[in-house]
């Protein structure tokens, strides 16, 4: 089949220059692809001019619901994707990581977009900055979507997940994407993408697909665009230094292959749970996806007195691995993605072999199930071991992107830290130890060289996702050789597609612009209690100033008796006076909150359905028996829950004493019904 490109709102077949894409196990041609004849400038213009406005017209919550709908739609075609994935050399369990992992990432970002972001087109970043004496001139940071396009260049090893994780973050940010799948496995990416387009869920221009070469696309990037890359460190460097990317300061986010390490703690002796977990994890990382994972363990750093046992235990595990055509029952490891990749891995093993000894695998002949060694891209799991007293330059520089790991002995914790750091930046490192002191020393010695550290032991192993499993909630990226980017990391990765801008002006002006009330902005007062207003009738800035109430000694003692909180500062006059912060007995902070609620709550049934939280609480001044408190309650921010029949309201609450001095401030969170 000829793969097509989806550009400018239609499926297009290239005009020539097709290359064959082969089944990794049989060598048969699966598809052909090309982007020859495409107008790359026009493609970018379509994203910017059509896709961008269409996406930015949606709020974050609407975009989150869009991601959820995409994931649900794609789930109907799971078996189809599974079948096609076999041609890439992936086993059934490998495919589960790629396909189901991609769907799960969409669901996570759909949820995070609706829980952590406002139902708006911008994000208010942090509290206001007071930059003037009287508070009439303030600063506020906001995030807005950039008005460009995300050029997303994916790797061959995860044709589904790799594409969907990037789309989840850029679409949630409101930035359209041009997807460029890796050529070797583009047939699976194209099929998943085709199902997305057929669904009609995404707006016109929000996503485009280029199968084959990007041609001169990067010659046309602008300061509003982003180039997001997953692949080899050498290719990442070439892209990052493209003249137009440099000249325009085009945002460049890279996640590149790195020489990830796993360290066995000195406490994890043979026979310990951590020793067994370490061996199991290395064997898994060598064989899952045939070692073609950017997070795979390339360097196993082991106490020198345990290295013989580790080597033997690994060899025993690897001996049981069944290699062959992933369509056959019992096969645990398939081929590499193609013959070129096989040749590259074998060349890298020979390079590593100049400094390290091959202690398992490495041969050209080994048992295969339902496969021909001459046609498929098969490589045996290969374990190397550093030679005593030899140079270790290559093992910290050369990566065989396949089922290859090198054992490296160490003598002390500091020695292990130095070895880990020699990778010059990794996506992930892992440590197997039950000793918290060792773990602490390792973390603070290596964290600055890693994007993620997995600390695995008997306490968390059953629920651990393991060394090599990136999660959408956590950073997936790393410094140095790992590319310096963060493809994932919850909402952090969404921000790569957005612009942080500092606004300066009056509180009233900034409140009007950001839809978040702040102190000093206009207050809207009236006869009707704010709690009597339905969600859509409640304006930002709607304010209630309550009557005042005296807090007396009987209140304090009754509250202590009711709650059991008899802390001396509330009950003992002399002891309270001895405290440098107090002049005598003080009211409980939570008594002040309860009394404040009594002042502002409207008791009758109405639009307020529930109080579901209180945030940013600060007690700024003590309240003494005899003081009078008063409350200002202001509607600060509103977030509609689409389709739920209610919205969330954030109220700015300030409790003051008889001198008008704030004694407590906090945000109150309520659920307010919508009309009808």
Which residues are catalytic, by number?
255, 294
Dihedral angle over CA of 480, 485, 490, 492, nearest 10: 110
- φ and ψ of 595, to 5 deg: -65, -35
Residue 1, number of CB atoms within 10 A of its CB: 12
Q: What is the DSSP letter of 618?
A: E
The pairing of strands 628-641 and 646-656 is antiparallel
Which residues sit opposite 357 in a β-bridge? 385
Q: How many CA atoms lie within 13 A of 97 on its CB side?
A: 18
The pairing of strands 628-641 and 549-550 is antiparallel
Helix %, strand %, coil % for the chain, to 5? 35, 25, 40
Rounded to whole angstroms, the Cα distance separating 461 from 212 reads 41
Residue among 55, 440, 356 at smallest CA distance from 348: 356
| Under 8 Å between Cβ of 179 and 189 | yes
Structure tokens at 657: 């004493």
Kindly tell me the burial class for residue 361, based on how many C-beta atoms sit within 10 Å of its own C-beta (0-12, 13-18, 19 or more).
Answer: buried
What is the residue-wise DSSP string for 648-668?
Answer: EEEEEEEEE-TTS-EEEEEEE
Rounded to whole angstroms, the Cα distance separating 349 from 344 reads 9
Rounded to whole angstroms, the Cα distance separating 455 from 461 reads 9
Which residues sit opposite 112 in a β-bridge? none
**Residue written as tokens 């002399």?**
574
Q: What does the chain come to in residues?
A: 676
Q: What is the DSSP letter of 615?
A: E
Rounded to whole angstroms, the Cα distance separating 152 from 253 reads 9
Residue among 166, 173, 178 at smallest CA distance from 144: 173
């Amino acid at each position: 089949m000829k793969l097509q490109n989806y550009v400018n709102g239609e499926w297009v077949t290239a005009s020539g220059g097709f290359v064959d894409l082969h089944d990794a196990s049989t060598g048969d041609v699966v598809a052909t692809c090309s982007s020859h004849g495409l107008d790359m400038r026009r493609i970018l213009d379509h994203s910017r001019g059509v896709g961008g406005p269409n996406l930015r017209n949606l709020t974050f919550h609407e975009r989150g619901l869009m991601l959820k709908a995409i994931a649900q739609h794609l789930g109907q075609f799971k078996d189809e994707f599974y079948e096609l994935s076999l041609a890439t050399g992936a086993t059934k369990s490998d495919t589960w990581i790629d396909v189901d992992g991609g769907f799960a990432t969409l669901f996570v970002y759909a949820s995070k977009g609706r829980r952590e972001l406002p139902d708006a087109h911008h994000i208010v970043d942090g509290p206001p900055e007071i930059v003037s004496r009287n508070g009439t001139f303030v600063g506020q940071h906001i995030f807005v979507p950039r008005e460009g396009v995300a050029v997303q260049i994916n790797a061959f090893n995860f044709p589904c997940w790799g594409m969907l994780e990037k789309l989840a973050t850029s679409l949630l940010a409101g930035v359209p994407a041009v997807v460029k799948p890796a050529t070797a496995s583009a047939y699976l990416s194209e099929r998943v993408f085709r199902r997305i387009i057929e669904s009609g869920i995404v707006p016109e221009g929000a996503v485009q697909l280029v199968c084959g070469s990007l041609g001169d696309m990067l010659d046309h990037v602008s300061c509003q665009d982003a180039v997001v890359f997953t692949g080899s460190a050498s290719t990442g460097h070439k892209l990052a230094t493209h003249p137009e990317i440099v000249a325009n300061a085009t945002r460049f986010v890279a996640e590149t292959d790195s020489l990830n390490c796993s360290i066995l703690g000195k406490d994890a002796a043979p026979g310990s749970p951590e020793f067994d977990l370490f061996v199991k994890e290395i064997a898994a990382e060598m064989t899952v996806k045939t070692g073609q994972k950017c997070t795979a363990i390339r360097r196993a750093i082991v106490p020198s007195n345990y290295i013989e046992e580790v080597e033997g235990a690994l060899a025993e595990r690897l001996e049981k691995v069944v290699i062959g055509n992933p369509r056959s029952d019992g096969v645990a490891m398939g081929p590499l993605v193609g013959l070129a990749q096989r040749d590259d891995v074998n060349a890298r093993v020979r390079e590593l072999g100049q400094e390290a000894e091959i202690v398992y695998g490495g041969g050209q002949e080994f048992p295969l199930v339902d496969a021909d060694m001459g046609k498929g891209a098969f490589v045996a799991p290969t374990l190397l071991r550093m030679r005593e007293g030899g140079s270790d330059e290559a093992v910290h520089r050369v990566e065989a992107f396949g089922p290859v790991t090198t054992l490296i002995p160490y003598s002390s914790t500091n020695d292990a830290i130095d070895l880990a750091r020699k990778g010059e930046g990794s996506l992930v490192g892992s440590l197997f130890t039950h000793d918290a002191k060792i773990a602490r020393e390792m973390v603070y010695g290596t964290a600055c060289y890693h994007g993620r550290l997995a600390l695995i032991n008997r306490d968390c192993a059953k629920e651990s996702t393991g060394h090599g499993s990136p999660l959408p909630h956590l950073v997936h990226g790393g410094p140095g050789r790992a590319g310096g980017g963060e493809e994932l990391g919850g909402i952090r990765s969404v921000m790569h597609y957005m612009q942080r801008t500092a606004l300066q002006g009056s509180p009233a002006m900034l409140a009007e612009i950001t839809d978040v009330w702040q102190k000093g902005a206009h207050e809207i007062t009236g006869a009707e209690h704010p709690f009597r207003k339905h969600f859509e009738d409640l304006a930002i800035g709607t304010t209630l100033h309550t009557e005042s109430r005296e807090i007396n000694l009987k209140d304090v003692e009754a509250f202590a008796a009711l709650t059991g909180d008899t802390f001396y500062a509330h009950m003992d006059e002399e002891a309270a006076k001895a405290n440098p912060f107090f002049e005598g007995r003080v009211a409980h902070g939570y008594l002040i909150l309860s009394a404040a609620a009594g002042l502002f709550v409207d008791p009758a049934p109405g639009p307020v359905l529930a109080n579901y939280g209180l945030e940013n609480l600060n007690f700024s001044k003590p309240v003494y028996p005899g003081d009078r408190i008063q409350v200002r309650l202001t509607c600060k921010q509103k977030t509609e829950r689409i389709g739920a029949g209610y919205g969330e309201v954030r109220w700015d609450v300030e409790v003051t004493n008889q001198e008008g001095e704030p004694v407590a401030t906090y945000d109150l969170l309520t659920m307010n019904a919508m009309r009808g």
